[in-house]
Structure 1
């Protein structure tokens, strides 16, 4: 296995495990604080994620590209100069981001909470936002260090620090919330405040891991620095200009989803003010933006990992002007994404009652919002893939314009649609915004590459038929299970998901192998195994 592939695999695995933990911890935490107070938690994390994305998105990738570029020229001095300057810059950036979020927590809370809100006060929301803001002091500094290691194609520090950061955060979050509620007899609101502080504690854990690797590799890097060719003497202004060119499109990729959520956070409660469910708007928003959203991102996480792995190939073929290979790889990227995402969305939608029960509790509102929101996962997966393709073919300026167009549509339509359809209105506005942004991305790809999507459309039709057949099997299995295995306990819901998942997976897998689409999309290794079973 080449160093590049091995490094990418390590990084992907670390990120995947970190995200899995980020979903699983919600189960015990929700059990501790309950449905109402989980909403207070999401009020803190949406602005935090947005500020964090602005502060660091693109920094590790851009910094690693810069360091790798000059290292390949034998100039190790330039990368070290940037490390010294960059760490100071990111510390300042982090501190400014912290101050901005801390002092604007009050106005944000006032914009978020409607005067009719019965569950949380403006003061409650202000305080949790202020508590979470402390993490911004540490995280940007940490992200740059990760980028430096990646520039040397040493991915282990990034993967391990991400994992340790998440583990420390979750342990502190759960232990802190438990201690507040069961040892000190505190309120659920106080438990949430301690929980949001876990982002800061987790970041400290990540920094300690990076310092460990730095001490381990410092001698080796100093030797390379000593053997460096004469430095290109790039001034800091030019360095940061080059990094900005790398980073800005990645920043917009990073903030896309948090911005759509942020619009909901600022407008949802007020738009719901005149509806018959105004008193429950806080609960509906927490379901939409946190509990359901966590589950919606599961198929996105699985599919984009496979599709994004093809982006470097697209960049390489485009650079060599091998446009037929670019188009073939585009076909494969889109088909893999749809082949994995569409059946996952269909299956999870039919199992929305069981999924919501396992992760949270039996909730008609939660299950309904989850079922209506899950199809948006396909759009959540398509946008980063199409945007990354634009970056790979040097059309990154369109990422910014297309995303802003989608966001403006979301902002313009959100309030009127929420007034008409409540939570479904917010989902509809998100769908419209994403469809327009993705459509514009695809138009640029089509014009630039003369790309024809006939093959993808044919395969989409086949994947849709396969997913429909799977849905029939899933629905029939659920109907049979309803006769003797209800959802009386979480264990029963787990059993229902395992049984239905096995049936649905078997039907979809069989059809995928029988039609040959699975072998064509997932490669020769799969074909080698399937031939033994007559497929």
Structure 2
């Protein structure tokens, strides 16, 4: 890989991680402004369908366009990429308008679906939920075009515009969301539905801010891009239908992976209220749904984002090894990918489960039931991460068609078990159904990897077992310290919760880090650069 590409990948990964961190931190003040789990559920009623619509409209577009442009730039056929970009602007505008009209028009029907079974047990009507859905739908007019421009820059190995625009989009959205909801509720003294509508409309504001940044980069870099056109070889004439056929084939699997998590959440929205009502717990349904799909989900997704950001950087190398039929190297890279994923995700999930009470208090205030759900939900982070990476590996070995099979099977399992599990186990039942659905999808993905890449999965077992042992060794003293701290500190206090987390997480990180360095496992996963750290800490393998 060239130093320019490595630098660009690092910048893009850093921007993505920073955006996700901001997407978590804003929840702390937002949750306190809107005042609880039930308004959080209303917010998710609008945002989950929006995520599905936006994923269908744009998921895979930056990657597909960047791959397409990079391919023809390598052939010095720069005009082909520019032709795609010009036509793509109109296509993405049309896609955005159609998606907006569909979501705006279907808002009442979507609202009826998610409220079915709990109509008389909460303060929201179908019209309220439809208003929130319609408020967020305006972002669909902006985001598809924005995604195309990001893909165009990435195709020229220019990752800065995508990274900067991603962070600016998130910042603008969060600032408008927090200021808007506060102003509506505490200055204008309006109702919570209006405030949540303003919060979801913030996605449109974020899109506008991102688009302004991208236009600035376009104006700044256009002379250099035009210079490339002057060196165009002009030997290939690719028709627009051929262009879009290639892009759709490449992008469709990413669409499916991109909407996996929102679809699992949407199944909860469709079935949760009804299942709770049938179990005689309709009065607590909205509050519990807010805990499930908003507060705990935000925390569980933290280790997933970090682990997949590290592991997915290895997928392009796997693709190269597969294409060159270098099986030995590909197996080594697959081993490393799975081990990096597990090395990061397992301790994060265990820590989140062990410290569920103070973690939930730190972000959302003390809620014993919220912490209970978080404790159950935390291990599912491992499955979220494994699904994302196995699906990406299928892309790398050119068997992406099976991602559709695995996802649809997982969704069918989730849909089949969700209501009976919720009726039996309340909110945790939805978590169990999600875990079962993702588990089935992962098994299918692993089977396909084993069959079509001839990958001996047993090779990763031994080191994965070592990672599990390290986590057990770490978890026992951390849990012991946690129980001791509870004698003098209370997880009901935000300040004391932070102190508990710092002390317990610090002990866990020290033990786990020492074991990883002492055993040499960290060296094999993250490279020889850790040798310098080991020398400073006087740790020998």
Q: Structure 2-normalised TM-score?
A: 0.97
Where does residue 449 of structure 2 map in the other structure? 445
1:253 CA drift (Å): 1.1
Q: CA deviation at 1:488?
A: 4.6
SS of aligned partner of 1:309: helix
Deviation at 1:527, TM superposition (A): 2.1
Aligned partner of 2:316 in structure 1 is 312
Number of the residue aligned with 1:30: 31
The alignment covers a number of residue pairs equal to 535
**CA contact 2:303–2:345 (8 Å) conserved in 1:** yes
Q: 1:117, 1:269 within 8 Å by CA — same for their partners in 2?
A: no
Q: Is the 8 A contact 1:75 1:231 kept in 2?
A: yes
- Mean CA deviation greater in 152-161 or 113-122: 113-122
| Structure 2 alignment gaps of length 5 or more | none
The reply on whether 1:487 has 2:491 as its aligned counterpart is yes
Question: Quick one: which of 382, 387, 392 aligns to 2:391?
Answer: 387
Deviation at 1:474, TM superposition (A): 1.3
Q: What does the per-residue CA deviation read over 1:261-305, in whole Å, with 9 as the maximum and x for residues that have no partner?
A: 111111111111122322111111111111100000011011111
Q: Aligned residue for 2:539? A: 534
Tell me if the contact between 1:116 and 1:273 (Cα under 8 Å) persists in the aligned partners.
no
Of residues 235-244 and 115-124 in structure 1, the stretch that sits farther from structure 2 once superposed is: 115-124
Alignment of structure 1 residues 117-516 onto 2, 5 Å: 117-516=121-520
Structure 1: distance between partners of 2:289 and 2:146: 32
The one of 63, 66, 69 equivalent to 1:64 is 66
1:491-530 deviation per Cα after TM superposition (whole angstroms, max 9, x unaligned): 1111110011111111111222222212221210012321
| Contact 1:351-1:497 within 8 A present in 2 as well | yes
CA distance in 2, matches of 1:183, 1:411: 43
SS at match of 2:325: coil
Q: Give runs of aligned pairs for residues 40-119 of structure 1, distance below 5 A.
A: 40-113=42-115, 114=117, 115-119=119-123
Distance 2:231 2:516 in 1: 54
- Using the alignment, how far apart are the partners of 1:78 and 1:231 within structure 2? 10
Distance in 1 (alpha carbons) for counterparts of 2:516 and 2:330: 25
Q: Report the Cα distance in structure 1 between the residues aligned to 2:120 and 2:456, rounded to whole angstroms.
A: 52
Q: 1:72-95: per-residue Cα shift (whole Å, max 9, x none)?
A: 111111111111110100001001
| Contact kept? 2:131, 2:197, Cα under 8 Å | yes
Residues 389-426 of structure 1, C-alpha deviations (whole Å, 9 max, x = no match): 11111111111111111111111221122122221221
The CA deviation at 1:142 is: 0.4
Partners of 2:518 and 2:35 lie apart in 1 by 46
Pairing partner for 2:524 from 500, 520, 524: 520
- The equivalent of 1:10 in structure 2 is 11
Flag as ranges the 4+ runs of structure 1 deviating above 6 A.
Answer: none
